[in-house]
Structure 1
Amino acid sequence: METMIMRNLILAWVFIGLALAVPARAGDFIVLCYHDVQRSLDDPDGMSVTLDSLIAQFSWLEENGYRVLSIDDLLRAQQAEHPLPDKTVMLTFDDGYTSFYTKVFPLLKAFEFPAVLAVVGGWTEVPEGSLVDYGDKQVPRERFMSWEQLREVAASGLVEIASHSYDLHHGVLANPQGNEQPAMTARRYDAERDRYESAAAYEARLRADFAHNAALFEKHLGARPRVMVWPYGKYNRLAQDLAAEFGMPIALTLDTGPNDPKELGAVRRVLLMNDPPLANFVWQMHNPLWQRPEPVRVMHVDLDYVYDPDPAQQETNLGLLLDRVLQMGVNTVYLQAFADPDGDGVADALYFPNRHLPVRADLFNRVAWQLQTRTGVKVYAWMPVLAFTLGETRDQVQSWQADGPAAPDPEQYRRLSPFAPDALRLVEEIYEDLATHAAFSGILFHDDALLSDFEDAHPAALAAYAAAGLPEDIGAIRADPALQRRWTRLKMQTLHTFTGRLAQRVRDWRPDLKTARNLFALPVLERASESWFAQSLPRFLEHYDYTAIMAMPYMEGAEDPEAWLTELVRRIAETPGALDKVVFELQSVDWRHDNAPVPSSVLAQYMRLLAREGAKHYGYYPDDFFNNQPGVEELRPLMSLRTYPYLP
């Protein structure tokens, strides 16, 4: 299991090869993450470096004026006692291999470099001559350092011994289909009782582990650990809070990016894999990955296509999807997490355990995990914002009528009012349940997050308008252009605020979450139409990591699709930096004409047009993996990032 979980997690979630980088700003620092060090490389997991490589890298850092930091240096910088100079780096070594004592420690003394060594407490308690349960295999206890060796390196003043957990460096059963996921963050699934670990039991498990390891360190080293190094780089807000409670306010992740010494609760690290040659190491040091992000290529997938009441057929369907994603070569999948078999865009059930709606199947976690670990893509959970079958009819968005009472608009999605607090609380809890029961990289907010220029006339909305100094009479607002502009801005901000709250609920469990939100094309092409949707491209760019614009000319009834797409890209490009954050979602089906497939050659032509006009990110919806629609052969040259110049 160690081989499977560690390799798959790293290749899928931290798929960055040699993602080393210089700090982005003065005072920032970077942290390098090493594992085992060998004289000659025999490492099927790609997690080791050779001794010669390590010597060359240390020598390069010294010769090029890098300052190697200790934990005390960081703490002093955090307290603003001593600002960090430029070109600062920290060295970390995970798992406590004996090679650290025999190979790395002599180098640290020779170069006078400090380092952090992360130790799994449970492995140290295995008797000499016995075997350590190292994931899915057993390895000799002698592969890991003894307490005597740990005391020696700690006494040198060069090495900070960090906690790598007592017994959380492994996987636990995390869904009914049998996937094992990191014990630190996964809610354990009990197959015999067909239920998940409760929130209280999960917290108790983590608390007991942290307490045990702290006591073990105190017993053998005379001090409790000050630093937590998350196994597999996975953590959540609860784990962070517990680490701080047990005296470890500094925690090291495998998130990517530069670090600010004032923010040490989630220090980002870059993982050295596959024993990089010195030339690669140097090139990457001067070309930081996060300053040169790769293009986004998206397949937008309906989980309803994977679902089947027959578990065997469902697994077959999943296999077809995985093969399809690998063949297409994309790096991102927007994966439906709600059930919508009738296609009305409203969530009647969900694909994950939750408190408020039926579970059509406990499927999202299984598919998301397989996609991430088997194909290396980033998975965004595609979720409604307001379109849930929840609460009473009175909780729904109400459309103002000049000649009658307000009522839901039958031409729009059935949505909950973003001003109805009780209904929104239920949605927040659904998002929290999603985050606790599945591992994923981002959220795609569905296109249901809109309010027309007749909405919302819900009583709570009218009260919010009054509180903002607007009339409670929508007719009066619509009659005054200045009031209507204020009203539109208020509605926009209400939707942004709510999606921000939803994202925060998820980030408590998935801290490195990215966000994307669907935007209709008309507010970009016709500025006056912003009030028809309560959507605005500049505001989307401020609030989300990506804006997934619905670049769907057939849906919009465009007479000349190519001219329409060209104009859309050019309008977006008028906003500085917009093309860095906009994903163009093309349609692969013409819903206006009996759901006829858009020919793959035409879709490929549109992708070439987008790229020619300067679009950086694009994809399509939907993907029909049963019928090879759109065709892999036609689209792979335009979708795949597994070819030069994108292959890492």
Structure 2
Amino acid sequence: MNRKVWISLLCLLGVLFSVSLPAAANDVLILCYHDVAEKPGNNIYTVTPAALRSHLDYLKENGYTPISLEDYIAASKGEDKLPAKPVMLTFDDGYQSFYTKVFPLLKEYNYPGMMAIVTSWLDYAPADLGPLLTWQQIREMESSGLITIASHSHAAHRFTVTTPQGDRGPLFGSLQYKEGKYESVADYRQRVMSDFAATQAVLTRELGHKAQALVWPFGAYTQLAIEDAFAAGFEACFALDDGVNRPGKQALKEANRIIITNNPSKKRFAQLVNTIGKAPVKAAQLDLDKIYDPDSTEQTEENLNLAIDRLLASGTNTVYLQAFSDENGTGNIESVYFYTTTAPVRADIFNHVIARLRAEGKFTIYAWLPTLAAQWIIDENPETAVVACEAKNLGWYRRATPFSPEVSDRLTAMVTDLVKYNDINGILFQDDVYLNDFEDFSPAARQVFKTETGLELTPELLKADPELNDRWIKMKTNALTGLTVKLQAAAKEYRTNLGSARNIYPILITEPAAETWLGQNYGQYLDTYDYTVIMAYPYLEKEYEDPVGWLEELATAALKNPQNAQKTVFKLQTYDWNKNRWLSADEINRFTNALKKKGAIHIAYYPENVFSE
């Protein structure tokens, strides 16, 4: 990257802020159904005709207006307006029951619906699927004007090996692992495009036109696959993420759908519709260093089983999963746990752990990731290290400077590999993203300062000119945040629907002037990331006499604006590092309840006691 461009990026505050939009009357609720049968049996995706009718009754009674795919696309392109409380009814896989049970109901209510079919299945389907639609039935339903046919792929509704350990993942959502190596991005795109071409060819042959919509098998996809889908003629892509849809370009690229499971009653259906996306975060921060045993694959798996059992038993819904190795507990990172050509790899197990977590429960998984503490960057080029005006005043982590384009490019390449090879939902940036008040006097930092001010950066200059010093503090804060924004943007080029979170020290909440000491700003965090994760560790702050009081003061300051609660996670310690003891369940519950009484919504816990019975 050109140095001037990089400097401009650091100082352009406008790119740092994202806006969270409130719900609007024309946000589109999209429901996803599968088979319909009188006796669902053990299939959690099957509903009864009576349950489906009750759902349609609920929508009618509560002012929802079912819309068609065409309505959704037109509104998202700005060509038409939607009614209040619009809802789309979508059905996947092309079961025969759609013709015999669903289609008659939709005709009765005069409700449009969308059916997504796997085009190869109509010629040859897996035996365990049961009866599927015929082309004659599909043409009949489409000609009614109520039913729109979408593609559910041609032959990609299946799993493939995605890790060296043999784990399997959705074909569209992952790079394959075969013959001892990962598939290239070029090969991935070629097989994705071949499938799109095949399904559109079959639909054109049988229906006389291409499909407007693509429904991702298992809700799995990448940004590259989205681009290829639109190139293949699709105008909208549908996933399985919770949430409603604000009409617009993004709604066409990644439409959220609520999957209907366990044959919900009318009452349960109402609860589902009215609580979308509102589940509080209950997160556990999980150390792979405690799980991985370099001497025993069996022991690693046993440790992983223990961790998963604890996560499931505790009701955890979000996992901050360690993507790096910190064997010595220093925070100076020597290697990572995922495949990359840009950093030392201790073991390629990160994607295996993700696969196990996804197989066992519905977890949101954030990669807990270091940035500036990447030691290999500094070792290869010592000039990239953060420099203090006096060596004794260097911070507690050995870090690379955020002002260096080389550091930025190296970290960007690492993050790109992370998202290419690992099916994550977000990134949690480690607390190594800071600069204290004696830092940074590295060559790159000096160059940025001179470019911006025309002056040489010296401690004497900053001390003599408080206004200039304040300006430098803001430049450091923006450089740190700007780096994470660039890394998140690079990650979203591969996985667009990727969340962001960043650790912040509690003193920044109770004493905002501490930005001088750390280069962090709570308000900027709230504007920039999906979640701000406050390291609420009372015993690390040596608040032994009144830890609950300290937590209450922290929560009061953080939630002075109650809206902050939606984007703030309070991460509680479960271990007392000063006294080398695990906290009791009673202590942790007292801390949790104190925060919730002050308005906290989202709670995380660290570390996870994997081996506790």
| Secondary structure at the counterpart of residue 429 of structure 1 | helix
State the Cα deviation string for residues 224-276 of structure 1 (Å, max 9, x = none): 11111111111211111011001102111112222122231211111111112
Alignment map for 1:56-95 (pairs within 5 Å): 56-95=54-93
Q: 2:118 aligns with which of 116, 120, 123?
A: 120
Q: Which amino acid aligns with 1:444?
A: L
> How many angstroms apart in 2 are the aligned matches of 1:100 and 1:596?
58
State the Cα deviation string for residues 126-166 of structure 1 (Å, max 9, x = none): 1xxxxx22xxxx326x6111222222222222211111111
> How many angstroms apart in 2 are the aligned matches of 1:315 and 1:557?
36
1:495 aligns with 2:484: no
> How many angstroms apart in 2 are the aligned matches of 1:35 and 1:170?
16
Which position in structure 1 is the counterpart of 2:142? 154
Alignment map for 1:391-406 (pairs within 5 Å): 391-401=380-390
Which position in structure 1 is the counterpart of 2:424? 440
Alignment map for 1:450-461 (pairs within 5 Å): 450-461=434-445
Which position in structure 1 is the counterpart of 2:361? 375
Q: Which amino acid aligns with 2:324?
A: F
Q: 2:174 aligns with which of 186, 189, 200?
A: 186
- Native 8 Å contact 2:387 2:394 kept in 1: no
> How many angstroms apart in 1 are the aligned matches of 2:235 and 2:92?
18
State the Cα deviation string for residues 420-478 of structure 1 (Å, max 9, x = none): 11121111111111111112222111000001112221222222223333743242124
Q: Which amino acid aligns with 2:488?
A: A
Alignment map for 1:160-171 (pairs within 5 Å): 160-171=148-159
1:550 aligns with 2:573: no
TM-score for both structures, normalised by structure 1: 0.86
Which position in structure 2 is the counterpart of 1:30? 29
Identify unmatched segments of 5+ residues in structure 1. Answer: 1-22, 127-131, 402-406, 629-648
> How many angstroms apart in 2 are the aligned matches of 1:567 and 1:282?
38
Which position in structure 2 is the counterpart of 1:42? 40
1:177 aligns with 2:165: yes
> How many angstroms apart in 2 are the aligned matches of 1:604 and 1:472?
52
Cα deviation for residue 63 of structure 1 reads 4.8
State the Cα deviation string for residues 358-405 of structure 1 (Å, max 9, x = none): 22111111112222331333221110121112241111112223xxxx
Q: Which deviates the most, 305-314 or 390-399?
A: 390-399
> How many angstroms apart in 2 are the aligned matches of 1:55 and 1:189?
44
Cα deviation for residue 510 of structure 1 reads 2.9
Q: Which amino acid aligns with 1:80?
A: G
Which position in structure 1 is the counterpart of 2:276? 289
Q: Which amino acid aligns with 1:31?
A: I
Which position in structure 1 is the counterpart of 2:493? 508
> How many angstroms apart in 1 are the aligned matches of 2:611 and 2:243?
39
Alignment map for 1:569-584 (pairs within 5 Å): 569-584=555-570
> How many angstroms apart in 1 are the aligned matches of 2:315 and 2:51?
32
Identify unmatched segments of 5+ residues in structure 2. Answer: 1-21
Q: Which amino acid aligns with 2:573?
A: Q
> How many angstroms apart in 2 are the aligned matches of 1:478 and 1:313?
56
Q: Which deviates the most, 114-123 or 49-58?
A: 49-58
Cα deviation for residue 580 of structure 1 reads 2.7
Alignment map for 1:265-304 (pairs within 5 Å): 265-285=253-273, 287-290=274-277, 293-304=278-289
Q: Which amino acid aligns with 2:485?
A: G
> How many angstroms apart in 2 are the aligned matches of 1:603 and 1:63?
44
| Secondary structure at the counterpart of residue 49 of structure 1 | coil
Alignment map for 1:99-138 (pairs within 5 Å): 99-126=97-124, 132-133=125-126, 138=127
Alignment map for 1:260-339 (pairs within 5 Å): 260-263=246-249, 264-285=252-273, 287-290=274-277, 293-309=278-294, 310-339=296-325
Cα deviation for residue 603 of structure 1 reads 3.2
Which position in structure 2 is the counterpart of 1:425? 409
Which position in structure 2 is the counterpart of 1:98? 96
| Secondary structure at the counterpart of residue 449 of structure 2 | helix
> How many angstroms apart in 2 are the aligned matches of 1:289 and 1:568?
29
TM-score for both structures, normalised by structure 2: 0.91
Q: Which deviates the most, 158-167 or 559-568?
A: 559-568
Cα deviation for residue 214 of structure 1 reads 0.9
> How many angstroms apart in 1 are the aligned matches of 2:181 and 2:234?
32
1:349 aligns with 2:335: yes
> How many angstroms apart in 2 are the aligned matches of 1:559 and 1:44?
51
1:533 aligns with 2:532: no
Alignment map for 1:560-571 (pairs within 5 Å): 560=545, 561-571=547-557
- Native 8 Å contact 2:55 2:266 kept in 1: yes
Which position in structure 1 is the counterpart of 2:241? 255
1:212 aligns with 2:201: no
The alpha-carbon distance between structure 1 residues 439 and 539, as it changes in their structure 2 partners (threshold 3 A), is same
Q: Which amino acid aligns with 2:382?
A: T
Which position in structure 2 is the counterpart of 1:386? 372
Q: Which amino acid aligns with 2:317?
A: N
> How many angstroms apart in 2 are the aligned matches of 1:379 and 1:317?
18
> How many angstroms apart in 2 are the aligned matches of 1:328 and 1:61?
34
Cα deviation for residue 590 of structure 1 reads 2.9
Q: CA RMSD in A?
A: 2.1
- Native 8 Å contact 2:237 2:253 kept in 1: yes
Cα deviation for residue 512 of structure 1 reads 2.4
Q: Which deviates the most, 208-217 or 390-399?
A: 390-399
Q: Which deviates the most, 237-246 or 269-278?
A: 269-278
| Secondary structure at the counterpart of residue 563 of structure 1 | helix
